[in-house]
Amino acid sequence: MSIVVLAAVFLLSTLLVTYWKEIKEFLRFRKMIAKLPSPNIPTYPLIGHTYNFVGDAAYFFHYISSMAKQYIMETKNKLTIIWLGPMPLLMALHPDTAEVILKSSKHMEKSYVYTFLHPWLGTGLLTAGGEKWKQRRRLITPSFHFDILQDFVDVMNEQTQTMISKVDEKFKSGQKVDINKVVTMCALDIICETAMGKTVNAQSNYDSAYVKSLYRLSDIIQLRQKTPILWWDFGFEKLKIGLEHKDLLRVLHDFTKSVITQRMETHKSSKVTKRMAFLDVLLHAVTEDGEKLSLSDIQEEVDTFMFEGHDTTAAAMTWAIYYIGSHPEVQKRIHDELDKVFGDDVDRNPTMDELKRLQYLEQVTKEALRLCPSVPLIARVTTEDCEMDGYLIPKGTQAAIFIYALHHNPEVWEEPERFDPDRFNKENSIGRNPFAHIAFSAGPRNCIGQRFALLEEKVIISKLLRRYVVVSHNKKEDIRMEGDLILRPADPLNISLKLRSDV
């Protein structure tokens, strides 16, 4: 035997001995994954199923949602495996399988695909794991205390008033109102002011560098998540898109950093601020070890709120308004409810108590979120073996909950495509599986901003509908939906307005 062969055998045996534990675990993982059900679509080494994902974000969402719906109908399975390149991704498609992940205090770590959010959000509440997440959740929960939400409702009312003035102006001059854009910019102004105590005046200034960078960066992150070839940081950073990514991050971070440092100065000089912003809660917060949060700790939380806190509500409102505009009988019931609460006063700001009384509107927002959940898919990684629907799932599995597919699963929802807000009246809600409607996720890592979001939806939609009738002209089946991070219409919806007083 030549010396080269001997050296190769020696090297191989050393590698085998050194990494035997990892190799054994990898083989065990692959063996268990191979036993899990998957759709009857060819998969290839290295690229897996991703050859089907070429095309724009709308095509991608159409592909995976139709594939999941068909798979559920044909097999009635509650889970499936798809291959994101070389990585298997488990998808929970039913409340029973989603519950295993969401309810557990074990599988709380976020999946690999969330790492592409780290350059922007660091490891703030959305992306953090383990002890850091627990500590942050404890610190941040008081930001949603009733008294602070009350201040936030004042901000919502003021920004909505600006939105209504802009809508009125356009309406009077006969211009088309792009509902998605109008509510998105309003939601952005609301989150800036509530999170940072500063407004970017997005409603007046669509072209702000901050606003533009925020949207472009979200696009790039989505593209990275579904394109394994862009996963490697070193290679990505050298590409044109990687350089653009870096520039956009600079714009966003510079902006939030300057707002935070200004606010820190205000706190030092103990100038009284008009209202508490989420940032003020963070500046006052003290950890269990008696330490204050650092500038970068605070920045990752502020950036997280800016990301999670406006596009989600904007998409939810856009879909809700679309469904209201295509269901006159639903709109009539909302108008009746608004008249009962506000009489014929179309201007007065709603109080917390009045918002609470808008129960039917709340049912409408829930049903719109069932059909079009703003966050269509979330993902974790399993931290130990677990059982799902009789299958053994190995530790280390990337496990997604396909919220959109679960909300359209005919095994869970009768006539799932039908828009019916009465599904959420008191009587029909009795006994419903708590994991059947998970637009805000569920369990210990559910959405911390859920109450904020529902208040915002009610403030904006009620103000709009007290004055206007909305009419939707698109057929649902013709609407292309984009859904990677956020589920939104790919093209502007054709929704027109009529004054209620003219109808």
Closest by alpha carbon to 205, among 166, 232, 176? 166
Instruction: Output the CA torsion sign for 139, 144, 145, 151.
Output: positive
Residue showing the smallest CB distance to ligand HEM in the complex? 449
Closest by alpha carbon to 87, among 39, 29, 130, 24? 29
Q: Does 453 interact with ligand HEM (rule: CB under 6 A)?
A: yes
Query: What is the nearest approach in angstroms of ligand HEM to the Cβ of residue 375?
Result: 4
Nearer Cβ to ligand HEM, position 305 or 435?
305
Q: Does 399 interact with ligand HEM (rule: CB under 6 A)?
A: no
Enumerate residues 6+ apart whose C-beta is below 8 A from 109: 129, 130, 380, 381, 383
State which of residues 121, 260, 316, 381 lies at the interface with ligand HEM (CB under 6 A).
316
Largest Cα–Cα separation, the chain: 97
For the chain, how big is the Rg over CA atoms in Å? Answer: 24
Closest by alpha carbon to 476, among 348, 358, 371, 352? 371
Q: Does 440 interact with ligand HEM (rule: CB under 6 A)?
A: yes
Enumerate residues 6+ apart whose C-beta is below 8 A from 270: none
| Calpha distance 236→231 (Å, rounded) | 7
| Calpha distance 103→82 (Å, rounded) | 23
Nearer Cβ to ligand HEM, position 68 or 128?
128
Strands (E), 69-217: 79-84, 87-92
Nearer Cβ to ligand HEM, position 39 or 122?
122
Query: What is the nearest approach in angstroms of ligand HEM to the Cβ of residue 315?
Result: 7
Q: Does 186 interact with ligand HEM (rule: CB under 6 A)?
A: no
Here the tokens at position 168 are 């009125």
Nearer Cβ to ligand HEM, position 38 or 127?
127
Q: Does 312 interact with ligand HEM (rule: CB under 6 A)?
A: yes
Residue 161's alpha-carbon distances to 150, 336, 350, 502, in angstroms, are: 17, 22, 11, 21
The b-or-e profile of 374-399 (16+ CB within 10 A means b, else e) is bbbbbbbbbbeebebbebebbbebbb
| Contacting range for ligand HEM; rule: CB under 6 A; set: 32-40, 283-291, 443-451, 474-482 | 443-451
Beta-strand pair 391-393/398-402: unpaired
Query: What is the nearest approach in angstroms of ligand HEM to the Cβ of residue 128?
Result: 8
| Calpha distance 155→130 (Å, rounded) | 34
| Calpha distance 249→257 (Å, rounded) | 12
State which of residues 67, 79, 121, 126 lies at the interface with ligand HEM (CB under 6 A).
126
Here the tokens at position 344 are 């014929």
Count of chain residues binding ligand HEM (CB under 6 A): 22
Q: Does 452 interact with ligand HEM (rule: CB under 6 A)?
A: yes
SS3 311: helix
Query: What is the nearest approach in angstroms of ligand HEM to the Cβ of residue 317?
Result: 8
Q: Does 459 interact with ligand HEM (rule: CB under 6 A)?
A: no
State which of residues 222, 299, 441, 472 lies at the interface with ligand HEM (CB under 6 A).
441
| Calpha distance 453→314 (Å, rounded) | 9
Classify residue 286 by its DSSP letter. B
Q: Does 375 interact with ligand HEM (rule: CB under 6 A)?
A: yes
| Contacting range for ligand HEM; rule: CB under 6 A; set: 2-10, 43-51, 259-267, 372-380 | 372-380
Nearer Cβ to ligand HEM, position 393 or 469?
393
Q: Does 139 interact with ligand HEM (rule: CB under 6 A)?
A: no
Q: Does 255 interact with ligand HEM (rule: CB under 6 A)?
A: no
Check: CB of residue 125 under 8 Å from CB of residue 163.
no
Query: What is the nearest approach in angstroms of ligand HEM to the Cβ of residue 140?
Result: 7
Query: What is the nearest approach in angstroms of ligand HEM to the Cβ of residue 378?
Result: 4
State which of residues 439, 461, 465, 485 lies at the interface with ligand HEM (CB under 6 A).
439
Residues 25, 94, 111: CA angle, nearest 5 degrees: 40
Here the tokens at position 424 are 């959420």
| Calpha distance 214→203 (Å, rounded) | 15
Query: What is the nearest approach in angstroms of ligand HEM to the Cβ of residue 458?
Result: 12
Q: Does 378 interact with ligand HEM (rule: CB under 6 A)?
A: yes
State which of residues 202, 448, 460, 493 lies at the interface with ligand HEM (CB under 6 A).
448
Q: Does 199 interact with ligand HEM (rule: CB under 6 A)?
A: no
**Within 13 Å and on the Cβ side, how many CA atoms surround 314?**
24
| Calpha distance 356→343 (Å, rounded) | 16
Query: What is the nearest approach in angstroms of ligand HEM to the Cβ of residue 440?
Result: 5
Nearer Cβ to ligand HEM, position 469 or 493?
493
Nearer Cβ to ligand HEM, position 110 or 263?
110
| Contacting range for ligand HEM; rule: CB under 6 A; set: 49-57, 61-69, 164-172, 434-442 | 434-442
Query: What is the nearest approach in angstroms of ligand HEM to the Cβ of residue 446?
Result: 7
| Contacting range for ligand HEM; rule: CB under 6 A; set: 155-163, 322-330, 336-344, 438-446 | 438-446
Q: Which residues bind ligand HEM (CB under 6 A)?
A: 125-126, 137, 304-305, 308-309, 312-313, 316, 374-375, 378, 439-441, 445, 447-449, 452-453
